[in-house]
Structures are given as C-alpha cells and as structure tokens.
Amino acid sequence: PTSAHMGIFKTFQKVSELYYWPKMRSDVARYVRNCDSCAAGKASQLARSGLMTGKPKKVAYPFQCISVDIMGPFPRSKKGNNSLIVMCDWLTKFVLVKAVRKATAQTVTEFLENDVFLIFGIPQICMVDNGPQFISSQFKKLIKSYGVSHLWYNANYHPQINFVERVNRVIGTAIRSYVRDNHATWDEEVYKVAHAIRNSVHEVTGYTPSFLNFGRTVPISGDYYGCLKDLKEEDISIDNREQLVHDINNLSGIHKEVRERLRTAYEKNAKHYNLRKRPLKFFKGDIVWKKNFVQSNASANFNKKLAPKYIKCRIKAVTGPVTYELVNSDNKSIGTWHVKDLKPYHNDDDFE
C-alpha cells in the first residue's frame, strides 16, 4: 500500500534505494506497464490515438447520403415538445428538422418516411448514432423496406464522425440566442433556423443548400420578385422558365464542383486533425483497455471520479480503419468504439 502505484520513474527510484540487478530499469518498466490497477486507473499521457484516415465519402447526388440525429431532451415546451429530430444531406448540406413530444422509434421513422423519403427520395446511405431509436427493429424495418443500401452507426462516444453533429451545434447556438431565459420557447423558432441554414451560402460548397437541391434561389421575401404591377404575367413566367432551365442544366456541373470542394476540405481537415494524433492499430482477438464512461450515482455512493478510467475488453471484430467492435469480460458485445478510447493491454495473463 505504501508504494501507491506510482509510475515507472518513481518506482525505479524507490527500488534502486535497496536493490540492483542487470536490466533493472527495463524490468521495472515492464512491471509497471503490466499492472492492471495502474492501467485501469490512470489516464493515458500519450497523444490521442486514431488518425483521420480513408477518403471522403463518394457522394455524387443530393440525398444519396443522409445523417440523422436527435437533439435533446430540452425542457418541455409550451407546445409539449422536448426533442428535435435533425436530418442533414451530406452533399448539399440541406437540413430538415422536426420538434417532437418524445424521440421514439415511432416518431423518428414517421419523420424519415413522410418528411424525407417520400419528398426527397430514398438515400443509399443513412448514418446514425447508437441511440435506442436507431437500433430498434422498427427503424431497421423502415430502412430495409425502402431499400436503403447501407445503415452506418457512429462509434460510441465519437459523434464528430457524423456531419449532422456540426449542424446540431449551429442549431443549438441559434436556439440559445432566441430563448434567452424563457427555455420553454425553444421550439418556436427552430423551423426558421433550419430555413436560414438551407438558404445561407455554405463556407465549403460555396452555394446555398437550397440552390444545390432545386437549382434556384429560394426567396426569403416576396420582394425577391421585384415590382410586378407593371409586368405582364407571361413575361414573368417566360423569364423565370428560361432562368430555371439554365440553372438546372448547370446543376450537375455544380455538383461536381461541390464534390471537389468537399474533397479539398476533407484533406485539409485531415492534415490538421492528424498533427497531434498517433497511429494505433489492433486486431481481432486482441485484449485492450477501453475508456470507462460511467455516471455518478449519489444514492449508491458511487462517484465516477473514483471509478476505474479503463475497463478490460476484447476485440470481437475490426469494423473500420479506426473502429472496433468490443466484448466485455462476459463475452457480451458492448458496441463499436473508436480507437481514441482504447489503449493496449500489457499483460500475458488470460482474459477473465
């Protein structure tokens, strides 16, 4: 007990006061690294693992790949809502939202079917997190019934892989600006916020999401059409028709330009992201330490600050360049995890 599970340096200094043997420093280092109590209880001092690898998603068309997420729960609003469903298209950055009384599998599937699939078409890829609404049989049944080819789940506690999380921050900032101290009004302006996002030029694509979807500017005021009282109706319709045809004919070329801009932005972000990251790779069957995400429970006299920072797990499957499906000591699956939340296990004992 008096050793207090110190690190390699302090342990070596303490041992060397009384003993010496060849290769003592390396033996002490190996002994400390193999200590399960130290590995479970101490935070890693190394640079965060997990490089931004791979290539940007090969998305060529609007609504080919969508991300869906849920914001909340918020305070119960005057309309009875406490959650917000958010959908974002990967190519155009087009955003749709819906405030709901409760974020259940039923409300999510109804939103996807009625507000997305039946209006904008069926996507090839749908990316979601590991919330109960998205892993439910009802949600998976909807995805299968409409022939969505790929249903991708985020790694646990790694939301940044999903673009809709960035949209959530924008929406959250706007909501805070509107509600101020009256939090029960959070849902009164969310549809206007989504409208503003759809009709603002995106910093990467260089276009508004609405234009990339419809090939035209969506008016935000009736003044957009100018003074019409001295113009004939047929002149207006002809001009509008010619401009619309011109924009639509150029839309496929614009989509190609947007894809190139997204690729450039991805490479730039990857370069910046990887500056302070290190590569780390595991294989099926490897034993690893996984970061322990627990919450304090006062009634049980449990404080997360005193809980182990890591728990021992095994790699069940390699699901991507930096993601792994894990099982716990009972061989029960605990989901998919990003490599940033894992560290190597330094012990030759059997996994228990």
CATH number, domain at 169? Answer: 3.30.420.10
Query: In this structure, what token pair is assigned to residue 85?
Result: 């469903």
Facing residues of 289 across strands? 312, 343
- Residue 236 CA to residue 292 CA, distance in Å, equals 64
Average pLDDT on 60-73 reads: 92
Please tell me whether residues 218 and 288 are part of one structural domain. Answer: no
Is there a single domain that holds both residue 263 and residue 302? no
Residue 316 has pLDDT above 70, yes or no: yes
**Domain span including residue 295:** 277-351
- Mark whether 316 and 217 lie in a shared domain: no
Claim to verify: residue 242 and residue 316 sit in the same structural domain:
no
Domain boundary among 258, 273, 288: 273
- Does residue 40 fall inside a structural domain? no
Same domain, 21 and 153: no
Same domain, 193 and 231: yes
Do 284 and 143 fall within a single domain? no
Domain assignment present for residue 53? The answer is no
Instruction: Kindly tell me if the per-residue pLDDT of 51 is higher than 50.
Output: yes
- 22 lies in some domain: yes
39 has pLDDT over 90: no
- What total number of domains does the chain contain? 3
The reply to whether 261 and 330 lie within a common domain is no
Q: Rounded to an integer, what is the distance from CA 70 to the centroid of its chain? A: 11
Amino acid 228: pLDDT:
43
**How do residues 70-112 score in pLDDT, each as one tens digit?**
998 999 999 999 999 999 999 999 999 999 999 999 999 999 9
Last residue of a domain, one of 273, 300, 319: 273
Choose the weakest-confidence range: 4-8, 45-49, 264-268: 45-49
Domain annotation covers residue 52: no
- Which CATH number is 283's domain given? 2.30.30.140
Distance CA 89, CA 68 (A): 9
Q: How sure is the predictor about 259, in pLDDT bands with cuts at 50, 70 and 90?
A: confident
pLDDT at site 260: 83
- pLDDT given at position 244: 52
User: Are 141 and 183 part of one and the same domain?
Assistant: yes
Distance CA 117, CA 148 (A): 10
Query: pLDDT tens digits, residue range 190-236?
Result: 999 999 999 998 888 889 999 999 888 787 777 666 644 444 555 55
Find the mean pLDDT for residues 250-255.
78
User: For residue 41, is it within any domain?
Assistant: no
Indicate whether 284 and 210 sit together in one domain.
Answer: no
The SS3 assignment for 182 reads: coil
> Are the beta carbons of 145 and 281 closer than 8 angstroms?
no
The pLDDT assigned to 54 comes to 57
CA distance 186 to 100: 12
Check whether residue 91 and residue 231 sit in a common domain.
Answer: yes
CB atoms within 10 A of CB 127: 23
> Pick from 143, 175, 145: which is nearest to 68 by CA?
143
d(CA 333, CA 253): 46
Burial class (CB in 10 A: 0-12, 13-18, 19+), 50: buried
Does the pLDDT of residue 279 top 50, yes or no? yes
279 φ, ψ to 5°? -75, 140
Does 58 reside within a domain? no
Are 203 and 255 members of one domain?
yes
Residue 344 belongs to some domain of the structure: yes
DSSP state of 276: G
Asked if residue 198 is part of any domain, the answer here is yes
| Helix, strand, coil % in the chain, rounded to nearest 5 | 40, 15, 40
Query: Of 242, 273, 304, at which residue does a domain stop?
Result: 273
At 226, list the tokens.
């100018």
